[in-house]
Structures are given as C-alpha cells and as structure tokens.
Structure 1
Amino acid sequence: MSSKKVIGILTWREGKRFAEPDYLRRLVKAGQELGAQIFLFSHQDVFKAERKIRGFTPKSGGGWESSWYPWPQIVIDRYRRRVPEYMKLRHSNLFKFANSPFSKKWRVTELLANDERVKRWIPETYVYTPEKLKVMLKRHPMLYVKPGNGTGGRSILKVAVRGKQYELKGRDKRYVYKNASFQRAEDVGRWVRKWVTEQRISDGNFLVQQGLDLELVSNRIADIRLLIQKDAAGEWSVTGCGVRVGEKGSSTSNLHGGGRAIPFHVFVSKRFGEEGAQQILRECHHMAHQVASVLEEKFGRMMEFGLDIGVDVDGRSWLIEVNPKPGREIFKQMKAMDLYAEAIRRPVLFAVHLIEEKTGSRIRLAAQQSQSQPKRQMG
C-alpha cells in the first residue's frame, strides 16, 4: 500500500464550478506541500462498487482537472448546502470524516444557552413568533431578527427603540438596505411578520435575539471574528482573531457587506486601553475553548469553528454566532498572511494527524497481538 496519505475534500460542485474555489485551491496546495494525495469531490463523484472517487485538483494555469483517486482515508467536509444528496452521503458510513455533522443555528444557541460553562456569553434568543417579538420589545431596547440558517449578514433586521420611535434597519436577501420607522409596537409587529415571510432563506425559521450595543465606533457595528482549530497534535488552539467594523449605518459588520478588517489589538486597545484589551482577548480565548469543547461533546469530533464575538460598550463579551465551516478571509484582509497560511494548513495537518493516529494504532495493535501470542515450545 502507498505510504502517501489520501485526503478527500467534500464540497459542492456543478461541472467544474466549485463553491469557495480560491480557498479550496489553497487547501489542496497545502495538502500537496505536506506530501498528501489530496483532491476535491462532490456527492456525484463517489463510485461505491469500484471503491474509487472522481477527484479534482487545480491546474497550474487556472481551472480544474479531474482524475480517478483511491478511497480517501479521511474526508474534510466543506459542503455548505444542505441538499438531499449531500445529507444522504454525510449520514452514511462510507467515509471517515474529520468533522461531524452540525445542527441549525437555533439548536446550537439553545444548547449553549443551557450549558453552565458557556451560558453567560449567550444573548437571550428565541425562535421568532409574533408573541415572542412583543415580549422581547418590552424587555430590550434593541433586538435582532435573523434567519436561523443564514450566512453573510443577509436577511438580518435590527429593531431599536429611539425615544418614542421604533427604528428598523436591515439588508434583505440580495443585500439591499431596507429602513422603516414606527411609533406603535403593533406596526413593528406587522412589518417584521412581512419581513420574516419574504426574507426566509429556504425552509429555515427566524430568531429574535437580544440586541447588543456594539457601536464601539460612532454609527458603526464592530465585532470580533475568532478562528479556533485543531492543530497537528489534534488539540484545540486559537489560530487568531481580528475585528470587523461595519459600514457606516449598517446593522452588521460582515466583510462582504462593506465591512473592514482591523487587527484586534489596534482596535480594542484604542477603545479599552492595553490592559482592557488583554483581558478581553483572554476571555475570548477562554470562551472559544469552552464553546468548542461543549459542541464537540454534543456533536462528535469537530475540526474548526469561527466565532463571532460581540464586545459591548461596557467591554462585556458575548457570543453572537458559531460557524463550523468558517471562512478565514479576515486574516487576508488584515494583511496577516502568516495567519492566513496557518489557517489554511491546519485542517490538512489535523487530517494527517487522524490518519497517522489510525495507522499508528493498527501497528501498535499488531505489535501487542504478536507479543501476546503464546510462545511455541521448542523440541
């Protein structure tokens, strides 16, 4: 058997069009540099009977080339669309995955909100109903109404009380800004109900979440994106973090909604001082390790998480969202290319670690078995 480690990356493709092609190209390159046989494949590329895979690797001049590959020893799941064919493959026993299937945002929030180790960092959150909205409007001066299965800041609505007015601000499915303002809670309720119906992403539900005052810069939302990953030894380790500062007047900080990426210390020490920044950073690291360990207990082995952490105007840290298949573009935008390269290498290093752990345990088992065999008497 070839000693080359065989790693598959499961992702969405249509023809030779892939989701997140730039990242996947770099991921394959990182694997090749580590001496692994590594390739992309999708659900339609699995040939069970022949036990082989049609895999894709980047061509040097751009584009992708396909070839037949042996069955992967480990698979990294980067599929981000919950299509039935993917779900069927994901829940089969055909492959050993580096990362387990994850749940919808609401279930994850509920799980974390009920765990003693992490609940202090979770803003009050419920599945949206008109009644829950009414209760939350009385309880908090600011709320977010957001899809339980959304990404990239789409369909998120901010509802804030300003004097006797309710101000509503958000971006729809197509990232178009929408604003409204009302004096009566009933009118807010009607407008939000319409928003939830029109902005639903596939069949997902909406959440109503306690709003946080994250306006660390006037009229701009800021939050922290932290990446925690398994390292080459299979241990959780924070790769790095940065601050995303939203566009002026935007209700989110998302980078592809016009936000900017700023190094953590540059931004946070300016607002809270050097000592305050160190304390916030320590808390963010502690939160990341606790959240990773709680979620891994619940869902099985995981590989990496992107945490969106809000630091409010009083310096208190809150967990806004956890993503099990995070991007790492924030490091690129901050020009922290060493962190960007490390963030790409780590999933491959962890996959290699899992393969070595598996083959190593086989060798150890064989050695133990041979030692435990009764010695034949000579003569």
Structure 2
Amino acid sequence: MRQKQVIGILTWREGQRFSEPDYLRRLVKAGWKLGAEVYLFSHQDVNTKERKIKGFTPKAGGGWESKWFPWPEVVIDRYRRRVPQYMRLRHSGLFDFANSPFSKKWRVTKLLAEDQRVSRWVPETHVYKKGKVMAMLRRHPLLYIKPGNGTGGRSILKVAAVGKQYQLQGRDKQYGKHNIRVENAVAVENWVKRWVTKQRISDGNFLVQQGLDLALIPNRVADVRLLIQKNEEGVWDVTGCAVRMGTSGSATSNLHGGGKAISFPQFMVKRFGEESAPRIQRECHTMAHQIAQTLEEKFGRMMEFGLDIGVDVSGRAWLIEVNPKPGREVFRQMGDRKTYELAIERPIQFALQLAKAGSGKQEKQRKEVV
C-alpha cells in the first residue's frame, strides 16, 4: 500500500493557541481530503536528533490534539512573526519549503519600483523621514502614510488636499477613527510626525505613498484583492479577485474596519461599463502574473501572493501592496464558496506536486534578499 505524502505547516503557536486557527484548520482538512498526512508545527516542535515533529491536528469537537509525526517531505510556511527562533529554523536547511523567505514591505516596493517590467504599476513610495511629506504634497494632492510592516488596515493615515487646507483621516493601532483638518503643509508634517511616533507597529518604518483616487463610489474607498497561486501543476494561476468597499468616510477598504466584499465583474461593469470592465480585469491579471514571476526570480520559489490593487477613477490599475502569506476570507465574505475552497486547497496541491516530484531536492532556494 502506497504511503501518504507528509506535508507540514509551519506556524506560530503558544500552548494550543495558533495564529489564524480557522484557516489552518481548513488547510489541514483540505490536505486530508486530498489524501495527504498534514499537520501544524512551530519552531519548538522539531526533534532533529530523532528526525520527528510534534505536530498538531484539529479535533472533531474543536481544539487541537498533538502527537509525533514523521518528518515532512514539504513544508508550507505560514509563520507571520519574524522572531529569532523562526528565522534560525527558516534558514537552517532542515526542510524543503514550498515558499521562500520574503523581505519587508518597503524593500519589496523598492525592488518592484526599480524593475522596468512592473514599475508602471507602482505608485511613488518613500520611507518616511522629516520633510518627505511636504515634498510629496508638492507633487501629489493625496498621500497615504502607512507602516511598512502593518496588516489589517491599522495605523494608516490618508492626507488629502481640500482647497487650501488638508484633511487627515485614519485608523490607529486599536482601529479607532481619526478625522481632522489642518491649515497648511507644515501642520500636516507636524501631525504626521506625531502619528508615526505613536502608531508605530513594533520597530517598523513608515512609508509615504502617492495616493490614488479610488473613490469609485462617493465617500468610500474601493480596491481589489486578487489572489494568484500555483496550481496542482506548479503553474501560476489567478484563483480569484474581489472588490473590497470601505465604510462611508473610511480611509481604507479593509474588511477588519467594516468593509464588504463584492463581485469584481459585477462592480466594474456597473462603474466602467461592459467594454472597459474586461480590459481592467485583464490588466489586473497581467500585473499579478508579472509581479509573481518577478518576485519569484528575486526570492526563490513561491506559491501564492495576495495583491491589493487600486483601480483609480480613470480605470487605471495600480499595485498598492503584495503579501506572500495572504488571507482568502474575501471570497467567503462575498459568498463565493467554490473560489474560497479552491484558495484553501491550492497550497496543499502545490506542496503535494513538489513532494511527488521530489523537486525540492534539486532546487536550492535563494536566501532572503536584504
């Protein structure tokens, strides 16, 4: 009888508390359905002497159970915290990973902005420093100040010129709303200086980014979340994309802040018409494929990216952000169960393809670009 392929999922845990437990539970179960032995583990669960892993799997009634598992043939990295123990394990050479280490948000933005294949989609972006906000306001009437290591829409500030004044809107680290007006660019610079000091997430930099007019609906921000993944043949394929629409008056479209997800074709046809909507969709797909290819060249093998794409009022697509460990809840919120389930299955399908081909034994992954 043929043995099952063994896939490990590396993630953060403390006791039996995991990051993103709902998604990881679904990921393990998707692996079981595909006939694989799949389990979760963290850096503290690796026994290198006996070459076995203390793994965790979901129990039928909720919660987790643990036991010793065989060494995984391929590991999917879902660890989101760059703690020293994780970084040591990641670079130890002990495992064949489906996805390579990635760099910080600012380094990725800079890398893409300097690559002529993809630079046309990247808004002007700089690391925050004194005077940078005033300099950028001379070129752009709209700016975003955002943490280089943030997630979930926290600590993002929108700065917009309104006549001779400036309006500042944002959400702080606790998702509290801020909405004020100031008289001039000097006042903006001073306000932003206080914001980046108070709203810093751990030790990360803040970025100052050219704002895009994404008000496709009056007084709301709308953007696109696109998921591109390797399929069971190891080929990049767009799994799905959806429009995220923010709450009235919000500076972001983030679902954590009360935004909602809408069908991409339905929204774009309504806003831009039946002729323009397919062109915008093709542009988003082209961007995703080119960015995935470019980043894989730089970092080594990858398996999925979530792209946040801004479509401005003229119908032009821009890259806002790229995430190598993306969520996929947008499809569930939209009610697209089929795409949601495919988005969960694909990482396992790709890991199984690697395990069957034994390709990790031949392919040496590059270390993180620093």
State the TM-score, normalized to the length of structure 1. 0.94
How many equivalent pairs are there? 362
In the other structure, the counterpart of 2:249 is 249
1:266 aligned onto 2:266: yes
Larger Rg: 1
In the other structure, the counterpart of 2:334 is 334
1:188 aligned onto 2:196: no
Cα distance, 1:13 vs. partner?
0.6
- Aligned counterparts, 1:221-370, within 5 A: 221-358=221-358
Q: Percent identity?
A: 70
**Mapped partners of 2:178, 2:81: distance in 1:** 27
1:177 aligned onto 2:146: no
**Mapped partners of 1:161, 1:294: distance in 2:** 35
In the other structure, the counterpart of 1:151 is 151
In the other structure, the counterpart of 1:368 is none
In the other structure, the counterpart of 2:76 is 76
Cα distance, 1:239 vs. partner?
0.2
State the SS of the aligned residue for 1:274.
coil
Pick the structure with more helix per residue.
1
State the SS of the aligned residue for 2:131.
helix
1:162 aligned onto 2:136: no
Cα distance, 1:38 vs. partner?
0.5
Specify whether residues 9 and 297 from structure 1 end up closer, same or farther in structure 2 by C-alpha distance, changes over 3 A only. Answer: same
Specify whether residues 23 and 128 from structure 1 end up closer, same or farther in structure 2 by C-alpha distance, changes over 3 A only. Answer: same
**Mapped partners of 1:172, 1:88: distance in 2:** 32
Cα distance, 1:298 vs. partner?
0.2
Which amino acid in 2 is paired with 1:193? K
1:126 aligned onto 2:120: no
**Mapped partners of 2:97, 2:361: distance in 1:** 18
Which amino acid in 2 is paired with 1:211? G
In the other structure, the counterpart of 1:14 is 14
Cα distance, 1:221 vs. partner?
0.2
Which amino acid in 1 is paired with 2:134? K
Cα distance, 1:131 vs. partner?
1.8
**Mapped partners of 2:196, 2:69: distance in 1:** 45
Cα distance, 1:88 vs. partner?
1.1
Cα distance, 1:360 vs. partner?
11
Greater length-normalized contact order (CA 8 Å, ≥ 6 residues apart): 2
Deviations 1:113-149 (A, max 9, x none): 0111100000000001122111101110000000000
State the TM-score, normalized to the length of structure 2. 0.96
Which amino acid in 1 is paired with 2:225? R
**Mapped partners of 2:16, 2:57: distance in 1:** 10
Which amino acid in 2 is paired with 1:129? K
**Mapped partners of 1:175, 1:360: distance in 2:** 42
Cα distance, 1:273 vs. partner?
0.6
**Mapped partners of 1:260, 1:360: distance in 2:** 39
Structure 1: give runs of 5+ residues left out of the alignment. 363-379
In the other structure, the counterpart of 1:24 is 24
Cα distance, 1:179 vs. partner?
1.9
Deviations 1:20-46 (A, max 9, x none): 111100100010111111000001101
State the SS of the aligned residue for 1:326.
coil
Cα distance, 1:178 vs. partner?
1.2
